[in-house]
Structure formats: C-alpha cells, structure tokens
C-alpha cells in the first residue's frame, strides 16, 4: 500500500538503526547518562511500542513518553462532570469511544450508560449535531475533547449549529493546548530532556512555527514526526544529528502532511469559537496556565458548562495509581506498582490503561519487559 509499505521497509530500518547507533556514540553526554528524548504524542508512543522501536535503540538513547494523549490527561473531576450531565433525564450525551471507559470517582460514562443514562458513541461532532436535529425534544451534549487536532471539528460544528439554529445542541469543552504543556514540562525540575519528537497531527493544524521557542529559548532540538515506524526512526536520527552538530532547530520530518504555516482555515475556526482559559487541570500534572480553551461568550448558548450545573471539583487519582509519574516520564509503565495486576485494559485504575494511545495500554499490549529479547528490523515489516 503506497505511503505505508515504504515506511515499513526492514532494510531502511536496519540502515537507520545502524546510523542511530553511530551518531549516539559521538555525543559526549551519553558517556554519563542516556540521552532523554521525549515523544509528546500518544500516537507516537503507540507506534514505538507496537513495532519494538525502543528495543532497537542503543542503551545510550532513552525514550520518554509524554502526556500527549488527551483522554489520558483528563482529570477525574471532569469525568464526574460528564457523568453528572449524562445522568440528566433530558440529555443525550455523545462522546468519542475511547472516553467512555475513563474512570471517574463514582463511575465511567460506560457505567453510567449501563445504569440508564443515554450515552452514545459518535465518530464526529457532526454526528452529535445530527442527533440533536433528529431529537428536538432532548438536550444533546457533545464531549469536546482533544488537542488542536480535534478543535477545528468542534469549532466548525458549533458554527454549523448556530447557522442551522439547532438550539438543543451544546458542547462540554475539554479541549487542551500543546505548547503550554511542553513549556511546563521543560520548566519542571523533574525532567532533563535532550530533544523532542513533535506531534504530527497537532502540527498539521498549527504548523511548525509555534515550536521555535523550544529551540530558541530552551535550546532543545525538535523534529516533527510522522506515525509509521520509519518516520519515528528517521526523526530520532534527525534529532541525534542535530545533537552531534550542536544545533537546536525545528525540523519537519512529516513534511508530506505538515505545512509550515499549518491549516489556516482550521486556525481561523478555532480563533473564532474558542478562547484560552486562565488555567486547566491535567491528570497527573496539576493545573497548567493557559493550557485549555473554553467557548467564547458569543457562543454561550452552545456551552454545556453554562447550561448545566456540574460539580466542577478537583479529585485526586487513587493512591495506587501512578499515571502522573508515567505521564511526566518519571517512571516507565511497567514500573507502576499496579501495572498488569490490579490495573489492566479490562479493569483500568488509571486513564493511561484505557486509551489505545495511553502509554500503559500500549506497553501492556506490545511492550517487552527489561531482559526480554530485543526486536529486530524485520519486525517492522
């Protein structure tokens, strides 16, 4: 299949792995500690585990799995707010499927559905708008969730609802932003990162320019990466090449999809409908300034937070859950005390075990424990 098979070529993988090993040996820092390279996007984490890319790398290169899965960073209190809205008898609550099983303090949306709430999975906010048109006597709420990747679809749906005068449609907005979160990670005393794999899908919307502060102010190289195994390997090679040459730049490996200026129409829709919140709470990371968006006053009629009374409480994760440490890259998924035992994809304690892009779920499905036989380049094909 074109644009897939050529990015899973074992021969090219062998060449890249060999040159990654050569470059890593040229970096003086690796004599004292492994290089810490963070992939921010959950899609990258999934590819890394699925294709055994970590096991292909030399010991001097360590991948740190960042918080780039929007379902995984959803705080427990916001899940409780969803359940509160969903349990209103007049409400049809619509959501993407991967959010249905995220645990709240009382129950998940899937459990709320099992006890009588009208919770429906949709593939697009436009599906939710169609449900609202078909059910004018019900309040239809769409759970707006995700980074800049999914913001445009939510914004355009709100604009369509206004244009079509669909008065029984609203959005419970939990969209979050990438750049303030990266800044918070770089400012954290817990982290000592040497470079970033930039998120491909987010960059398709926002472009490459917003990342320049990482290279300019923090002096960390960035490579925006695609999602196939050779995309990841080439992007790691590009990061190491910058480190060997003592450069800090923003490079775009995913140029076949990501334009430098981003998607202008998508950015205009985001700007028209949303405004930056003063702060937003992230699971495991706490409150991060300017890291979420809310719906502008002009579109208040479509804002579920204004139409419904919700608890809006900050609730701590279960004490046994170490999602916060995994999200910050402080520990690996398998180092969590409950990983694979009390916490599995079937019985998740934390959100990282729910989403397919969560580091714990990806590692549970594809990961190799320390000491197991490493993957080979042939496994990429």
Tokens encoding 256: 């076949």
Tell me, what CATH number does 280's domain have? 3.40.50.11740
Q: Specify whether 282 is located in the same domain as 197.
A: yes
Helices and strands, number each (H, E), in the chain:
15, 13
Nearest residue to 327 via CA among 65, 87, 26: 65
> Contact, 201 vs 207, CB < 8 A?
no
For residue 9, report the phi and psi dihedrals to the nearest 5 degrees: -75, 115
Q: Specify whether 344 is located in the same domain as 218.
A: no
Cα distance between residue 147 and residue 367, in whole Å: 26
Q: Specify whether 314 is located in the same domain as 328.
A: no
Three-state secondary structure of 252-302: ECCCCCCCCCCCHHHHHHHHHHEEECCEEEECCCEEEECCEEEECHHHHHH
Q: Specify whether 45 is located in the same domain as 87.
A: yes
With residue 275 as reference, give the H or E element that holds it.
Answer: strand 274-276
Q: Specify whether 138 is located in the same domain as 216.
A: yes
For 161-253, strand residue ranges (E) read: 169-175, 195-198, 222-224, 250-252
- Domain holding 341, by residue range, is 322-366
Q: Specify whether 69 is located in the same domain as 97.
A: yes
Tens-of-pLDDT digits for all 381 residues of the chain? 566 788 889 999 999 999 999 999 999 877 778 999 999 998 999 899 899 999 999 999 999 988 878 888 888 899 999 999 999 999 999 999 989 988 899 999 999 999 999 999 999 999 999 999 999 999 999 999 999 999 999 999 999 999 999 999 999 999 999 999 999 889 987 778 999 999 999 999 999 999 999 999 999 999 999 999 999 999 999 999 999 999 999 999 999 999 999 999 999 999 999 999 999 998 878 899 999 999 999 999 999 999 999 988 888 777 888 887 887 777 888 899 999 988 998 888 877 888 777 888 888 888 655 544 444 444 444
Q: Specify whether 13 is located in the same domain as 150.
A: yes
Is 117 in a helix, a strand, or coil?
coil
Tokens encoding 8: 């899973």
Does any domain span residue 225?
yes
Query: Domain total for the chain?
Result: 2
Strand partners, 114: none
Does any domain span residue 374?
no
> Contact, 246 vs 216, CB < 8 A?
no
Q: Specify whether 213 is located in the same domain as 289.
A: yes
Q: Specify whether 233 is located in the same domain as 344.
A: no
- For 314-364, the pLDDT digits (tens) are 887 778 888 878 877 778 888 999 999 889 988 888 778 887 778 888 888
Q: Specify whether 356 is located in the same domain as 215.
A: no
Q: Specify whether 190 is located in the same domain as 328.
A: no
Q: Specify whether 358 is located in the same domain as 223.
A: no
């Amino acid at each position: 299949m074109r644009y897939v098979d050529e990015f899973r070529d074992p021969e090219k993988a062998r060449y890249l792995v060999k040159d990654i090993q050569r470059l890593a040996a040229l970096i003086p820092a690796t004599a004292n500690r492994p290089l810490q390279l963070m992939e921010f996007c959950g899609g990258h984490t999934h590819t890394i585990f699925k294709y055994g890319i970590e096991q292909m790398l030399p010991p001097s290169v360590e991948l740190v799995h960042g918080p780039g899965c929007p379902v995984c960073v959803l705080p427990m209190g916001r899940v409780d707010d969803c359940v509160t809205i969903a349990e209103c008898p007049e409400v049809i609550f619509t959501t993407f499927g991967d959010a249905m099983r995220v645990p709240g303090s009382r129950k998940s949306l899937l459990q709320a559905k099992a006890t009588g709430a009208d919770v429906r999975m949709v593939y697009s906010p436009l599906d939710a708008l169609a449900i609202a048109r078909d059910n004018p006597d019900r309040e239809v709420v769409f759970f707006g969730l995700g980074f800049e990747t999914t913001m445009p679809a939510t914004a355009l749906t709100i604009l369509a609802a206004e244009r079509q005068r669909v008065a029984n449609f609203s959005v419970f907005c939990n969209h979050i932003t990438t750049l303030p979160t990266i800044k918070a990670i770089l400012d954290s005393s817990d982290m000592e990162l040497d470079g970033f794999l930039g998120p491909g899908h987010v960059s398709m919307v926002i472009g490459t320019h917003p990342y320049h502060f990482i290279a300019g102010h923090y002096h960390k190289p960035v490579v925006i990466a695609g999602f196939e195994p050779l995309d990841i390997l080439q992007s790691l090679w590009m990061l190491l090449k910058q480190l060997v040459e003592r450069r800090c730049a923003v490079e775009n490996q995913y140029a076949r999809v990501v334009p430098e200026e981003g998607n202008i129409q998508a950015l205009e829709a985001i700007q028209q409908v949303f405004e930056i919140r003063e702060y937003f709470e992230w699971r495991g990371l706490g409150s991060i300034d300017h890291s979420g968006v809310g719906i502008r006053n002009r579109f208040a009629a479509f804002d579920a937070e204004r139409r419904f009374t919700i608890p809006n409480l900050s609730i701590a994760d279960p004490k046994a859950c170490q999602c916060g440490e995994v999200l910050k890259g402080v520990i690996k998924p398998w180092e969590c005390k409950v990983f694979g035992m009390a916490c599995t994809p079937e019985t998740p304690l934390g959100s990282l075990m729910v989403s397919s892009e969560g580091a714990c779920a990806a590692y549970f499905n594809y990961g190799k424990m320390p000491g197991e036989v490493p993957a080979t380049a042939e496994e990429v094909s």
